[in-house]
Structure formats: structure tokens, C-alpha cells
Structure 1
Amino acid sequence: MKRILGIFIILSMAFGLFAEDKLKIAVLQFKKNDSDSQYIAGQLMKRDFKSILKKSDKYELIKQKKTDEAVKKSGYTNLMAADKADILSIGDAIGADIMIWGNVKTKSHEKFVITSKILSKKTGEIKVQSHEVTSKSKDRKAVLKKEIIDILEKFSTGAIDNQKNLGLAAFDSRNWADAAAAFERVYELDNQNIDAIFYLTQSYYMLGQYEKSIEFAEKGIAAEPENKEYYIFKARSFEKNDDLEQAAEAYKKAYEVCGEIALLEKTVNILVENEETEALLELADSILETDENNLIALTAAANTHYDLEDYESAIPYLEKAVELDEENEALQKKLAKSYSKTDRLDAAIENYKSVLASNPKNIKTRFYLANAYRANEQLKEALNEFKELQRLDPENPKVYQGLADAAIALNKFETAAEYASVAKDKNPSGYEGYLLLAVVYEKKGYGIYNNYITLESDIEAGKQNATLYGEKLDKLIAKRDNLKAKANATFKKSISYLNQAAKQTDKPNIMKKIKTQKARVKELVKQTKAGQF
């Protein structure tokens, strides 16, 4: 009996039953080939299949009266001569998923040969099987259980393999529509088939059908909860649908499954981009409970508290993050500013100076001191420390970034541009050098623009009190227009560096900074456009 139930389960998968559905089977006709086989044919139609299927919660035998009426209406008296389209038409009329028909002939006094045809509506394939039975009901039913159901098992397996091969070939050829169609047929035959679920998740994503991709990703997660790919495609689909909260949660699950840092970074970046500060802090703290040195979580918490101007809360995260990422100048600056905002910076500076007194070549501490001076607006001291770092570590692009930043604060724009260019050249894949050059040219543009505004005011005043006229007025107007054009070109150069910086990073906080600066400079470009007064 266990074997029979197992076969029935396979039959269910083969023909696409969901757990709550029953597969509808119709026994259309078994014709007698001689008078001795009449009894066997009659038992097949009336009792044998009904007995086999009656205890199954997976299958439903369509009532014989209903089936007989449909066969009669078709006009066929011998279905063995009917073609597939006619059989399918009868099946459609009564809502059958599988149609079984055949004939019976006598082999000897006690032995008979049953020839059965089985047609699946879902696959359109027909299987034919002949088997020998006796007139004894028990023996006959045992043969039917074994032979008929086994052929359905083989039938389904072949159909699944065929569709799977078609799907894989289409998928490898990046023909996502055909791949989805083939694996949908596999899924109809076997709704537990993990290959179908896996490839449907991906194919629907590539087709841009994100809801369907999420649907199959969730089925995959239920079947294989440790497979990160389902969480990743689920997250990507949510991203495409602009449901960033759900996307972040899915990336977090993927990270929890495999521990890949890139997935955690993706989660943090989404939360930062979506300004989900509460969720971001909750995520960071939950990770740090089990991994206190997780730099991604430390940095996320530090930056979030810092951006909220909660410097007191930011400091412990920043201190730990700086300890783990010693060369991260941005974190050092934030730590220095946080010290300054909490009246701890002077003490920190004295501490750094004390360390350097005993070890002047301690590059890490000298970076801390330089950034602390910068945060404390001690610009000349900051510049001097960065120059010492240039001597100690001349190939480090962060040294030149610090030099450029200090020079900008001192309004030494030409010097700042030189240092920023060196920083860019020493780290061509980084965004920092480009961003510093963008700041330099924005500030240079401001200076030129201010001169233009002053000269414009002087010209208007001179025209009103009649002190400016003739050639002198013309020269000043030309000078004014030249300043305006120069300011415009300088602002445009700033935007070009911002565009390049944006290509070099995907960090949400940096992208946000670039976006804000770009909007500001674009407005200045507009104001200095030729003919704009």
C-alpha cells in the first residue's frame, strides 16, 4: 500500500496538482475484443479504477455516468481509432486532467490482455501499455496498481526532464521568456521541483516581472532556507519595485545566511539612502551584539549618530571604527569634530602630541593630530602636520587629500588644486581627489562671481550718477562680461569633477553630498550664463 501511495504522490506532481487540488481522471472506454473479455472490460469501467483511487486524497475519478455521456456525445464507438484532438475534446468537456482508454482481449480461459492508452492534458503526450491479467479481481487490481500507475510515473519523469532541458538551453542562451515558459511547465508537472523554482526566480527577474520573481523566491526560501540566491533575487526585485524597506530586510537575511560582507553593505546602503535612521541603528547594534568588530556596522552607527549631530553617541562607534580602519581619514575627521563638539578635542590634541613626542614617526597618530587641528580650526597647524606626513609617507594619497583640504580652508586655492591633483593621480580609482577639485573650482568660481557682482554694482552706480560713460564704461562692461564668463566656466569645471567623483563611488552618504553640491553649483552656472542678468 505504501508503494501505491508513493506512486500516487508522484502522479500528483506529474500532472501539476497543488496540495489543495485533486487530479481529475476519466476512464473513457475499455472495449471488448471478444465475448469472453466482456466481463473484464465491464469491471474495469465500473469497479477496478474506482477501487484503486477511492482512498486517495490526491485524485478524483470523474463519475462514470458523466464520462459515458461525453463519450457518447463525441460519436465515437471505438476510441482506439480516435485521434488525440478528439480525446482531448472529450476530456475538456468533463474537466479531466488525464484520460485513460483501451481494449481487452482474451488470451486463454483465465488470462486476458489489457491495452491501455493514457493521455495527459498538460503535456499532450500519450503512453501505451499492454499488461496481462487474470479474471480474479484482487490479482487484476494489483496489476493495474503496478502497471498503470508506474507508466504514469515514467510518463511524468520524461516530461519533466524534457522541459527542464529545454529550459536550461533557453536560460543559457539568455532567452528568458522561453526559459520561463519551459520551467513553468516543469513547475506545473511538479510544484516541488527545486530547479523549476530556482530558474523561474531568475528568469522572471530578468524579464522585469518582479512580483513573479518574488513569488518564486519565497517558494525557494521555503524549500531551501539556506540558499542565499533566493534572498538576493527577492531583494533585487523589491529594489526594482522601489520597496527599499523590504529590499533591505531581504539583503539582511541573505547576509545572515552566508555572512558575505557585501550583502551587509548593500543592506546598510539602502537604509542610508532611504534615511531609515532608526532601522539602521537597530541593524548595526544587533550585528555588533554578536560581532563587536564588524566595521560595516560600526561605521553605519557612527555615521548615523554623527549626521544626527548626536556626537556623544557617535564617539564610541567612531573610536572603535578608527581603531579598525586606521587609514580612514573621513572617520578620523568625524571623530575629531565629535571630540570638539563635546569639549574633548583639546585633551585629545595634547594626548596625540604626547605620543608623537616619544615617537615622531608614528604616522597614525600624526594623522589623528592633523585632523584634530583641522576640526579645531587650527588650520596652519593642520597644514604643518600634513606637510610632515608628506615627508614621512609621500606615496599616501590621503596625505595630499589632507593638504588640499587644509589649503582650501586657508583660501589657498591654487595650492589646494595642486595637492588635490596629486591625490587624484595617486589614487585614480578613488572619488576623493575629484571631489576636492570640485570644491576648489566651486570656491574659485565664487571668488570670480563675487568680483563680477561688485563690478556690476559699480557700473550701475556710475551710470546712475553719470561718472561712467564712453570708452571707460565700455571697458568695464567688457571686463564684467569676461568675469561672468570666467565664473561660468569655473563652475562648469566644478560640475565635471563632481560627475567624475560620482562615477568613482557608490557610497550613499558621498553620493548624497555630491548631489547636494551639484545642485548648488548648477544654480550658479545658470546665474552666470551669458545674457542672464
Structure 2
Amino acid sequence: MNPRILIALTIAMLLFACTTTVVQTTTEPIPEFHGTPTKVAFLPIKANDSSSRNIVKLMTVRDLDLVFQTHPKYELMDMEEVARLFKEAGHRNVDDLDKEDMKELAETIGADLLIKTTMNSGSQGVFNVNSQFYSIRSDELKQHSYDVVTHKDHRYKMLQENLMPEIDSFVSSEVDKLLNSAIQNYVMEKHEDAVEGFKYVISLDPDKLDAYYYLGCTYQKMEDYVQAEEYLSQAVELKPDDERCLLALNDIYEATDQKVKRVALMEKIAAKREDEEIWLVVGNIYDELGEKVKAKEAFEQSLSIDPNFTQTIIRYGFWLYEEEEYADAIPMLEHAAELFPDNELVSDRLGVSYFKANRIAEAIERYENIIANDANNVQALLTVAGLYRTQANESNDSKVVADNNSKAIASLNKAKAVDPDNAMVYLNLAAIYFSQKKNNDAESNANLALAKNPSLYQPYLILSGVNQTKGADQYSRFVDLEKQAAKAVGRKADQLKKDREAAKASALNFLRTARTNLESARSRTTDAQALRDINNRINGINNMINQVQ
């Protein structure tokens, strides 16, 4: 065989071996990527010396392709096609390219990231690679240098360790700039632009938590709660313990009245924060959902964090009372009564709880002992008076009722002697006198209570009751006089008609005053139950007024 042919065949076989020998690539599974890949174009790599040409060829025909196969978030554009477009654009030497040239080439090629590369041989089989990255997205350049070697496996590893992290960093910084631009649009309330920006960021980096968070918040601002929930839910999936995302998603559930989803989320937040206030909200939501066991657990979680948290003490005490768990309600209501001695609702429920738990005698004995040791303890005097009132209200025996009311009045008079400016003393006296139909005493004590504390609403309820009673009495008199006038004749009939009209006017005056009293009470309370009662009473009085008129 001709020696020249033999040499040519040998060289060809060596080159074939260099380009087809299997490179030991990573055994790690390649992560899936569901976004839009970044298109990366390598311009023809320039070898600055003859020793570098073979490595340039190997990188061009094999190495870069193998490396990029393990990075699915990038699409390596066909290098032959890129080289063709490079030449068609009239370029021959990558060293001659400036930023404007690279921008034009990136647009022509359709690349997101354009890389120009030169290579020099170093010592001991090391080759120095100098690269320049250009981004069409940010119009920025970045220099990067790294080394490769002759050995194919080592070279593959060096590309993985020295080239790809730099590309990742460069692209990531671009994504961050795009994100910041979208956030700026969000802050400036340019919602449509913000949505477009955040979606573009997500297409580039489907794991970008902040993009999902702000996109959800943007949709919330736009009142598109379906989209807001979708993206905030994805944010929580990406980072389940991110409090910003949890709270934002909670706001969506609250706005759309999705109690089941909201309570599950808030329970997670409460546990993470160890927050007694959030546990209280969780308990209230579970109660609304009818999940009584979970509601109780949530209230107890709140108190386990802060046993003195006032809001939970009152709410849990009332909840236990409503659930007829009177024995358990008592310590909560006792604590609430100590914190709010002027709250009649707390005192009333505490008294009823003692009674229902068959502990009212025990409670009276307890407070009477306190008074025996401290005769000036106004709160104890008020509490024991309330207990006597409860016993009176719960009894059908007139003697028992009278005896307990007398004891209550005695305790209140002692309290009045100690603290004559205590509005609650006069309020309780007014309530007892009204129950005994001693309207004048009830009225005077209700007015005294208001003089001591004009912000109270309960005295107005008693005054309304007194005036309504007087109005009803005058209306009865009006009806009776009307019957008499119908049968009378002459002067007697005329006088009866005058008396009848006076009774009617008096009835209307008392009833309208009663209505005004209730309106004054309504303006001084936010308690839902009290407001319902007041509104019902106003409706009843309006009916009476219409009937009289």
C-alpha cells in the first residue's frame, strides 16, 4: 500500500476515534425543566495557535453538545448553522466583534445568549479559554476565562464545573433583573405589565418563588382571585414554610370565604409562629364550620402559649358557656370578671355557669368569705350581688326570689358606701328594681349609672323598659277611655274624649322615649347579641307606636 495512503488513513482513524470515543458523562439523573429554555449560541471558536485546533474541533463537534444535554434549561443552537449565519453576516474573526456586532448577530441567529470564545495553548496540556457572554435580554456583556485539558473526561468535567456555573450565574442575574423590573411595575400599579413580566420570569425559571408570589399578589390587586389563588398555591408548593406566601394565600381564602382551606392554612401559620392570636382565629373558624372538637383544641393551644391572653380567655369562656360546658367555663369567666369587672355579660354568664354547674352556693360562700376578710372589696360585693340575682332569676318561688333580691340589694348598698362613684352598683340596683316593677327606683338608679359612666349602654335598656311600661299603661288607659267614651253622652262624653286623647299622646310620648333610649343604647355597644336584642325591641316598639297612632 502506498505509504501516503496509509498515513492518511491512520490520521482519519485517529480523528474519528477522537470524535466518537465515549466520554464518561454524569450518572446523575437529568432534572426536568418545564419552562422556556434559554437559547445559547456559540460563535465559531477561534484557536489562537495550532496546538489548540484539535481541542477546538472536539469542543465544537462533541464536548459542548454533551455538556448542554445535561442542562435542559438551555438549548444549544446548532453550531454549524450558527457558523454559517456568522459568515453570512460578513464576519470572519470573533476578535473583531464589538457589543453592537454581537447584538446584531444574536438577533439574526435568534439566540438569547451569544458566546464568543478564543483558545490558547498553555503548558503541560492545559488550554486557556477566554469567553465573552452577551445577553439579548439585558444587553449586557460578561467576560469569563477557564481552562480545559486534552483528556476528554477531565475536559468534560472542567466544562461542567467551570463553564456551566458561569452561564447559570449570568442567566440567573438576568432573571433577577427581569424580576425586579416586574416588581417595580407591581409597586407602580402597572398591573398588566407586571403580570407579563412575572410570567416571563416564570417561563425562564419555573422555580422562581418570588415571581409566583408577586404574580399572585398582582392578581389579588386586580381582584382576580382565581388566578391569585393558583399562583400563590404554586408558591406555597415551592416553599411550604414561606410565611409571606402563606399569609397572602390566607388573604385570598378570607376574601373568597373559603373557610376550610383558610383554617388549614392558618393552623400551619399558627403552629409555625406559636402565635396565640392566630390560634384564637383558628378556633373561631372551626367553630363557624361546626368543628367543635378542633375549635376547643385551637382555643387551648392559644392559652398554652399565653395563659393570660385576654381575648382567648373571654372568647373561650363564652364558647364553653354556649356549649353548656359550665364547669369548664367557670375558671375562664372568673378570670374574665377579674379583668373586666364592669362587663355585665361576663358577670351574668359567670353566675349562670355557677348555677348550671350546681356550684352557685359554693360561689356565694367563696365571695362572702372574701368580703368577710375585706369588706371594702367592691368587685367581690358586685359579684356576690350578681350571684344572688342569678338565684333569684332561676327560681319560681316568690319567697326565694324576694330573699335573694334583698341580699343582692344589701351587697350593692355596701358597695355603694365603699365606692359611691361606681356606675355598676347603680346599674345592678336599677336592674333589680326593674325586675321588682319598682319603676321609679329603677329609673333613678339607671340615670345615676349614666351620670357616673355615660358610655354604658345597659342603663338605657332599663330606661327604655321603664318608658315602654309607662307607654303600655297609658295605651291601656286610652283603650279603656275609648270604650267609655263610646257609651257616654253630653259633657261626660266630651271629657272622656279629651282624657282619651291625652292618654294617647302620653302613650306615644313614652313609647317614643323608649325608642330613643334603645337607639342611645345601640350607639354605645358593638356586642352582636346585644345589638340583635336592641333591634328586636326597637321593632316591637315601632309596632306599638303604629298601633297607637
TM-score by length of 2: 0.67
Which of 1 and 2 has greater Rg? Answer: 2
Pairs within 5 Å for 1:1-20:
none
Distance in 2 (CA, whole Å) between partners of 1:77 and 1:188 is 34
In the TM superposition, what is the alpha-carbon distance from 1:484 to its structure 2 partner? 2.7
> Which of the numbers 523, 527, 539 marks the counterpart of 1:499?
523
User: 2:43 is paired with a residue of what secondary structure?
Assistant: strand
In the TM superposition, what is the alpha-carbon distance from 1:494 to its structure 2 partner? 1.3
Per-residue CA deviation, residues 384-423 of structure 1 (Å, 9 max, x unaligned), is 3223223334565554554454454444442343244246
Bigger relative contact order (CA 8 A; separation at least 6): 1
Structure 2 counterpart of 1:237: 252
Structure 1 counterpart of 2:472: 450
Distance in 1 (CA, whole Å) between partners of 2:332 and 2:119 is 89
Structure 2 counterpart of 1:15: none
1:283 aligns with 2:307: no
User: 2:453 is paired with a residue of what secondary structure?
Assistant: helix
> Which of the numbers 383, 403, 410 marks the counterpart of 1:384?
410
Pairs within 5 Å for 1:1-400:
21=34, 24-28=37-41, 30-31=43-44, 46-56=61-71, 58-59=72-73, 61=75, 64=78, 68=81, 91=110, 99-101=112-114, 118-119=134-135, 123=137, 125=139, 127=141, 129=143, 138=152, 145=160, 149-163=164-178, 166=181, 208-210=223-225, 212=228, 216=232, 219=235, 223=239, 225=241, 230-271=245-286, 277-285=292-300, 299-308=314-323, 310=324, 313-319=325-331, 321-323=333-335, 326-329=338-341, 330-377=345-392, 378-394=404-420, 398-400=424-426
Structure 1 counterpart of 2:398: none
Structure 1 counterpart of 2:453: 424
User: 2:37 is paired with a residue of what secondary structure?
Assistant: strand
Structure 1 counterpart of 2:530: 514
User: 1:494 is paired with a residue of what secondary structure?
Assistant: helix
Distance in 2 (CA, whole Å) between partners of 1:341 and 1:368 is 17
Contact 1:239 1:247 in 2 (8 A): yes
Q: Identity rate of aligned residues, in percent? A: 15
Task: Report the CA distance shift for 1:336/1:521 in structure 2 as closer, same or farther (over 3 A).
Answer: closer
Task: Report the CA distance shift for 1:160/1:340 in structure 2 as closer, same or farther (over 3 A).
Answer: same
Task: Report the CA distance shift for 1:159/1:491 in structure 2 as closer, same or farther (over 3 A).
Answer: farther
Per-residue CA deviation, residues 360-382 of structure 1 (Å, 9 max, x unaligned), is 23444323311111111233432
Contact 1:373 1:379 in 2 (8 A): yes
Contact 1:228 1:258 in 2 (8 A): no
Contact 2:320 2:329 in 1 (8 A): no
1:523 aligns with 2:523: no
Give the letter aligned to residue 527 of structure 1.
N
1:480 aligns with 2:485: no
Contact 1:119 1:126 in 2 (8 A): yes
Task: Report the CA distance shift for 1:350/1:143 in structure 2 as closer, same or farther (over 3 A).
Answer: closer
Per-residue CA deviation, residues 215-261 of structure 1 (Å, 9 max, x unaligned), is 53774587373x65555444433222223344344444433333333
Contact 1:41 1:103 in 2 (8 A): no
Task: Report the CA distance shift for 1:193/1:458 in structure 2 as closer, same or farther (over 3 A).
Answer: same
Give the letter aligned to residue 491 of structure 1.
R
User: 1:152 is paired with a residue of what secondary structure?
Assistant: helix
Contact 1:200 1:213 in 2 (8 A): no
Contact 1:105 1:113 in 2 (8 A): yes
User: 2:338 is paired with a residue of what secondary structure?
Assistant: coil
Distance in 2 (CA, whole Å) between partners of 1:102 and 1:457 is 103
Contact 2:146 2:162 in 1 (8 A): no
Give the letter aligned to residue 443 of structure 2.
E
Contact 1:298 1:317 in 2 (8 A): no
In the TM superposition, what is the alpha-carbon distance from 1:174 to its structure 2 partner? 7.8
Task: Report the CA distance shift for 1:396/1:451 in structure 2 as closer, same or farther (over 3 A).
Answer: closer
Contact 2:423 2:450 in 1 (8 A): no
Task: Report the CA distance shift for 1:193/1:416 in structure 2 as closer, same or farther (over 3 A).
Answer: farther
In the TM superposition, what is the alpha-carbon distance from 1:520 to its structure 2 partner? 0.4
In the TM superposition, what is the alpha-carbon distance from 1:334 to its structure 2 partner? 2.0
Task: Report the CA distance shift for 1:481/1:363 in structure 2 as closer, same or farther (over 3 A).
Answer: closer
Task: Report the CA distance shift for 1:264/1:439 in structure 2 as closer, same or farther (over 3 A).
Answer: farther
Distance in 1 (CA, whole Å) between partners of 2:196 and 2:430 is 58
Give the gaps of 5 or more residues in structure 2.
Answer: 1-24, 393-403
Contact 2:317 2:332 in 1 (8 A): no
In the TM superposition, what is the alpha-carbon distance from 1:282 to its structure 2 partner? 3.7
Contact 1:31 1:102 in 2 (8 A): no
Give the letter aligned to residue 522 of structure 2.
L
> How many matched pairs?
490
Give the letter aligned to residue 281 of structure 2.
K
Distance in 1 (CA, whole Å) between partners of 2:116 and 2:339 is 85
Contact 1:485 1:530 in 2 (8 A): no
Give the letter aligned to residue 348 of structure 1.
A
Per-residue CA deviation, residues 81-121 of structure 1 (Å, 9 max, x unaligned), is 88969956975xxxxxx64446677989999987665546x
Contact 1:488 1:528 in 2 (8 A): no
